[in-house]
Chain A
Amino acid sequence: GNSVTQMEGPVTLSEEAFLTINCTYTATGYPSLFWYVQYPGEGLQLLLKATKADDKGSNKGFEATYRKETTSFHLEKGSVQVSDSAVYFCALLPSGGYQKVTFGIGTKLQVIP
């Protein structure tokens, strides 16, 4: 079946530090890949996406590249801010028909001033 593996947090960084949150996946075919972010007390919202191999998704300074050869979609940001403190979910949607999104366990990021 499909699965998403992401690093378990929490991840604590100082402001302006470099962020990497690893995500690898298992799926047949060519799934679409996503990063969702959940701020405290809110629902998830889409952060960025990639729909085919070598695509780079980017938004709000965050980036992730769809790597088919390593089945990875790592999230990076060059300089984190306190406002980036949230839980980050890697997710995949298989291609074809009505499919469900598979989410990773979520990685909590805490950025301290």
Chain B
Amino acid sequence: DTAVSQTPKYLVTQMGNDKSIKCEQNLGHDTMYWYKQDSKKFLKIMFSYNNKELIINETVPNRFSPKSPDKAHLNLHINSLELGDSAVYFCASSPPRGGFIEQFFGPGTRLTVL
């Protein structure tokens, strides 16, 4: 009964390929996020969706496209992968605003671009 799950856990691919990472949460939360963590552990938000609607879109290359088929899922598709995309990508979710906003993180997907 994992709260926030991501697949795959590891992803190794060649430059130029297209890949997707999937995220699902079973917490009933309305808001989901994608973060990128670089090799120095710096954590940067990429996108946030609330009830399938994009609400935060940081300065991220167009090659990254999030998709939220329903409020329990937020997938990340990356086109034309580059070496600099190598990082750990974390999905997270949080409950509706109005109460305490804790973010629940998935276990991460380590992407390595060769």
Residues of A within 8 A of B55 (CB): 98
Query: Could you tell me if B42 and A106 are in contact, using CB atoms closer than 8 angstroms?
Result: yes
Q: Across the interface, name the chain A residue whose C-beta is closest to B107.
A: A43
Closest to B101 in A: A93
Q: Which B residues lie within 8 Å of A34 (CB)?
A: 102
The SS class assigned to the B binding surface is strand
0/1 interface trace, chain B 49-75, chain A, CB 8 Å (1 if under): 010000110100000000000000000
Contact of B43 with A43 in the complex, beta carbons under 8 Å: no
A-B Cβ contacts below 8 A, count: 51
Categorize the interface residue count of chain B.
20 to 34
| Interface residue tally for chain A (C-beta within 8 Å) | 23
Asked whether A87 lies within 8 Å of B56 as measured between CB atoms, the reply is no
Chain B stretch 26-46: residues in CB contact (< 8 A) with chain A: 31, 40-43, 45
Known: A43-B90, A106-B41. 13 other contacts (CB 8 A): A43-B105, A43-B106, A43-B107, A44-B103, A44-B105, A46-B103, A87-B41, A89-B43, A98-B97, A100-B56, A103-B43, A105-B41, A106-B43
* Chain A residues with a Cβ under 8 A of chain B: 32, 34, 36, 38, 41-46, 49, 51, 87, 89, 93, 97-98, 100-101, 103, 105-106, 108
